[in-house]
Structure 1
Amino acid sequence: MLDRIQEGGPFFMWPIVIVFIILVGLFVKQLITKGDKAHTITLLSNISLFILSWGILGSVIGLIEAFDAIDSMQNVSQGMMAGGLKVAFLCTVFALVTFIFGRLFILILNLKK
């Protein structure tokens, strides 16, 4: 797991991991306390949408860097191309997983209203 985070670029990947932990913490806190669910749901929604955008931004920047490297090399094997694309999409995958969990938490909180 840590290898994938480093491989995907720590600048974009670590915030995704931290936000995932925050989402889980907010969800658990809301389940334990009897506070205002609407505020927590709004917060979960905004945070999950932000992190999805963050992951896509990381992937786009990764693709641009990969294509720059390919452009400068002129001769690129299929394996090297596939490896660069895999690394570029790691941010999106992690962000999508975080987004899906955030949406699942919202669904559960809405069902508990």
Structure 2
Amino acid sequence: MNDEQSATLAEAEAEPRTAKRYATAPGYRVNVRSGPGTGYPVVRVLAEGARVPVNCQKPGERVSGPYGTTSLWDNIGNGQYVSDAYVHTGTDGYVTVRCS
């Protein structure tokens, strides 16, 4: 890799990633938890019809909701997770990177 390629790669990694926003299930006020499971405290509740950014995703407790049963949890902010069973991503799998 030459210096120009290295500089371009460094610039791309330095740019903040803009997370795509997804709609939550209509008619539900979705609990936002501090971790990927219902045993974690609720940190806030989303309004019906909220659209949320999915920054990263990670496995956690298996949950059933309007969009199926899944163990996938979506990170929507620092220390804020919602079950993917309540977010319309259009797939049962990952739509972004795994949370570290």
More strand by share: 2
TM-score (norm 1): 0.27
Q: What TM-score, normalized to structure 2? A: 0.29
Structure with larger Rg: 1
- Where is the helix percentage greater, Structure 1 or Structure 2? 1
